[in-house]
Structure 1
């Protein structure tokens, strides 16, 4: 950096950053005027901003023992206890987001580095030093040709579901096994799979005729349980269409998995999604549906070669300029009860979650949120586990 840098300037009237992490946050509306610090030197501009949030969550778990990724079960939902309290992050982590951009040789060049950290640990003595670098990428493009992204960033598949989930700035399903040391889950595993972070080469088109946009990418393939990746990348793609207050999309994800250690049992994970949002005046609606082999519950392939499906339905209403109410319901499930599911996933069937929330914009940068919800997990043996939870706290975007 140069000693003759111009003084720092504050930017107003923009989203915090043009990345999924910040676009997710900014999309809710109450934080669309978030501030960032902008530093300019020569042809370069660097923006520094971030997120800090913490929520008091209290949960109780009851019912039967359910194996597999049972989010309502005592092991995951309440960290092995009947009741549990954590004061930690909601669905978003806390983090420092740095953006940079310049124009060179007729190309728009930019990038983002996002460094995240958790608020709560199981120990007050141990250092909170685990850093989660979710983003480290740069982009090259033009308005006419579109944009190429190179580096580590969020994926494409399931991005619209979490992007429009009202619990994004709250907690959603307050799964205690993940809130300590990381974040809660919103509707991840109970309405949609996580969009994940990948090393990637991806492309986003300019807005095409009639409002269509295409995004596609080659992602670094992932391992999942007893299955591993080899020479083939993962592919994700999405075609979206927007007009007025309506937006619709279709998406796909595909990867080949192999039995670990050459044990055989390879399978192709191929899943698709379709969804839409509609906003008119104070009302907002969201529907999203995912289906496919190897879809997984939390992430692709985590249930093995099992057919899965997930859906999320949500309605929101702005009571006034400050206060929004919302109610949503989601479910993720393994659709088949067979020997493979029994062997790999303890005959796991489904997670579902219903959440009601109030979100109050205290200022243009600070939102306070309170939520109540219930998560249920079932298996194909007839067992049901329940988690009831509530959360309240706040989030700031700067």
Structure 2
């Protein structure tokens, strides 16, 4: 889909003036670019053991310790992205492959050879018919929130259980669920002069990934469906999205259910000031990913304000909360995760941004307990 053809990180890179290496190869224009980042994160945890996907608890937030330090990726991994585009007959054609890797592991001698091929797709279309995409890429649902999150180029919630071997979480699980990467066939309608856009996708159905428990659902013949209506004009962007999928139970005593989720959000940029608000709600959306808490009903709210006092400096404050409506078995007793992050972002060059963030993540249980993770991160990111 045209609105999200590249990972949000490279969209951010474009706004900062970073340039990929471009060259001509026959009838193809080939581009090579990427991301490298590293952040020193220091966290401390206190309070109660809440249970479930409690991001502010000792088990996940601090990796089982009271205090912990990691020098690893922020919300973005390191990445190498190659694309090729061409005009063939009446069609604009493009292909892209993005490969990603983590900075930190728990070993100084083991091979850091885990490669995450998040993106591998091609598109074709034109201004009259729109664009069709086939392959693996990020989902439509949740893209407006995560790719507009100021902590995308920072760390956000520096959850230690995920940072070693992968990334931090930004506001994933504490403001919105993960955008996800799926095999898909997607369509983007032609760009409207009025600023209205429409994207829809048939997505390869997924099983649940509960992380702290055994999977109890699988997918069968029905694909996941995602769609989004957008509007953009004069610094304003708005989006209304939805997704749905049937999950089939694989464990005794567990019933099939259908995930249904809706999302509405908006952002506005007026000179140096930017604001954003996003809401997600539904059944089976999960805390981190699709159905990771089974058929639990959830709501997630995300709000952000940024201000640029100078050309190279941006200050930001963001808050998100993900809340379970009912104390189902899938929650593990978790009622909510919330994260507040204050950040400073300094554009040292057109390609390098240095970042400092402080914040707190709180997890509350249905039984009344609360766990807190205080965290700080300092580091930088380069787009090339």
TM-score bracket relative to the smaller structure: over 0.9
Q: Secondary structure at the match of 2:310?
A: coil
Unaligned 5+ segments in structure 1 are 1-16
Question: Where does residue 3 of structure 1 map in the other structure?
Answer: none
Cα distance in structure 2, aligned partners of 1:180 and 1:143: 44
Map Cα deviations across residues 87-120 of structure 1 (whole Å, 9 max, x no partner): 0000000010001111112111101100000000
CA RMSD of aligned residues (A): 1.3
Q: Secondary structure at the match of 2:255?
A: coil
Question: Where does residue 105 of structure 1 map in the other structure?
Answer: 89
Partner of residue 158 from structure 1, selected from 142, 150, 154: 142
Tell me: CA distance 1:201–1:313, structure 2 relative to 1, closer, same or farther (3 Å).
same
Tell me: CA distance 1:182–1:386, structure 2 relative to 1, closer, same or farther (3 Å).
same
Residue 209 (structure 1) shift: 4.9
Give the TM-score taking structure 2 as reference length. Answer: 0.95
Map Cα deviations across residues 273-296 of structure 1 (whole Å, 9 max, x no partner): 000000001100000000111111
Quick check: 1:146–1:206 contact (8 Å CA) kept in 2?
A: yes
Question: Where does residue 5 of structure 1 map in the other structure?
Answer: none
Question: Where does residue 351 of structure 1 map in the other structure?
Answer: 337
Q: Equivalences for 1:285-300 in 2 at 5 Å?
A: 285-300=275-290
Q: Equivalences for 1:204-219 in 2 at 5 Å?
A: 204-219=188-203
Partner of residue 253 from structure 1, selected from 216, 222, 243: 243
Residue 374 (structure 1) shift: 0.1
Cα distance in structure 2, aligned partners of 1:203 and 1:262: 38
Question: Where does residue 211 of structure 2 map in the other structure?
Answer: none
Unaligned 5+ segments in structure 2 are 209-214
Cα distance in structure 1, aligned partners of 2:124 and 2:251: 39
Question: Where does residue 355 of structure 2 map in the other structure?
Answer: 369
Q: Secondary structure at the match of 1:319?
A: strand
Map Cα deviations across residues 301-358 of structure 1 (whole Å, 9 max, x no partner): 1111111010100000001000000001000011123xxx1x2222210100000000
Partner of residue 7 from structure 2, selected from 4, 16, 20: 20
Partner of residue 293 from structure 2, selected from 303, 306, 329: 303
Map Cα deviations across residues 145-165 of structure 1 (whole Å, 9 max, x no partner): 111000000110000000110
Number of residue pairs the alignment of both structures matches: 375
Cα distance in structure 2, aligned partners of 1:23 and 1:50: 8
Tell me: CA distance 1:23–1:397, structure 2 relative to 1, closer, same or farther (3 Å).
closer
Cα distance in structure 1, aligned partners of 2:12 and 2:365: 34
Quick check: 2:101–2:114 contact (8 Å CA) kept in 1?
A: yes
Cα distance in structure 1, aligned partners of 2:344 and 2:258: 41
Asked if 1:90 is matched to 2:74, the reply is yes
Partner of residue 386 from structure 1, selected from 372, 379, 382: 372
Give the TM-score taking structure 1 as reference length. Answer: 0.92
Cα distance in structure 1, aligned partners of 2:241 and 2:43: 34
4+ residue runs of structure 1 moved beyond 6 angstroms? none
Quick check: 1:258–1:264 contact (8 Å CA) kept in 2?
A: no
